[in-house]
A and B are shown apart, each in its own frame.
Chain A
Amino acid sequence: ILNVEQSPQSLHVQEGDSTNFTCSFPSSNFYALHWYRWETAKSPEALFVMTLNGDEKKKGRISATLNTKEGYSYLYIKGSQPEDSATYLCAFSSGGSNYKLTFGKGTLLTVNP
């Protein structure tokens, strides 16, 4: 069973703060790392898919980096807003014809106005 760890489990920040969380995954047999944003009572929404060591992706105030050699990815949110409050999930894939994702348990972010 693959181990995908996310930290912290939860985070409370003030509006305007910048924040970051970590996803750790196996460094062997790496194919792709996915990040999702998951609001309560909705379905997970894809943020990024990262495949290459050193990849950096950005979408608005959210960005992510990838280190496949040491098995971690960081997600950054600059100037957090209340609407950023959600659970952020990462998922690891080792690829193959049967493409499967192993999810971490997520980081719950709460941004206080």
Chain B
Amino acid sequence: NAGVTQTPKFQVLKTGQSMTLQCAQDMNHNSMYWYRQDPGMGLRLIYYSASEGTTDKGEVPNGYNVSRLNKREFSLRLESAAPSQTSVYFCASILSLGRSYEQYFGPGTRLTVT
């Protein structure tokens, strides 16, 4: 049981390049999330997927697209990377049991756009 996994762990891109951040969870969770973490800003929600086949924008979706490929996988795509997208990206998933929700985070992807 690996929990939430993310690839890659580190990435350097040039402005204008594209890339996809991969996230997978093996806990059979319905909901998955992408956050970015910037100094002094805390964790901000980019996109989320409440269930397989659905995706919704979060607080800071501009410049990103997502795909919920199946129940396990939720990918984040940067079509044309910008220096403002330099950040640490965290994927998370939630287990809901009645009124109890526990969110589990992946290890993060550190992205630098030059």
A interface residues, Cβ below 8 angstroms from B: 1, 32, 34, 42-46, 49, 51, 89, 91, 93, 97-106
The chain B residue sitting closest to A105, CB to CB, is B42
Q: Does B114 contact A (CB under 8 A)?
A: no
B94 at the interface (CB under 8 A from A): yes
Q: How many A-B residue pairs have CB under 8 A?
A: 57
A99 adjacent to B101 (CB under 8 Å): yes
Count of chain B residues near A, Cβ 8 A: 28
| In the complex with contacts A98-B50, A105-B41, A43-B90 CB distance below 8 A | yes
B interface: dominant SS: strand
Q: Which partner residue on chain B sits nearest A34 by CB separation?
A: B103
What are 13 residue pairs bridging A and B, where the CB atoms are less than 8 Å apart in the complex?
A32-B101, A34-B101, A42-B107, A43-B4, A43-B106, A44-B105, A89-B43, A98-B50, A100-B48, A101-B33, A103-B42, A105-B40, A105-B42
Within the assembled complex, what's the spacing in Å between the Cα atoms of A34 and B103?
9
Bound CA span A69–B41, Å? 27
**In the bound complex, do residue A43 and residue B43 qualify as a contact, i.e. CB atoms below 8 Å apart?**
no
Cβ of B44: which chain A residues have Cβ within 8 Å of it? 103
How far is it, in angstroms, between the C-alpha of A100 and the C-alpha of B102 when the chains are bound?
12
Q: Is the CB of A98 within 8 A of B56?
A: yes
Q: List the A residue with the shortest CB-CB distance to B99.
A: A51
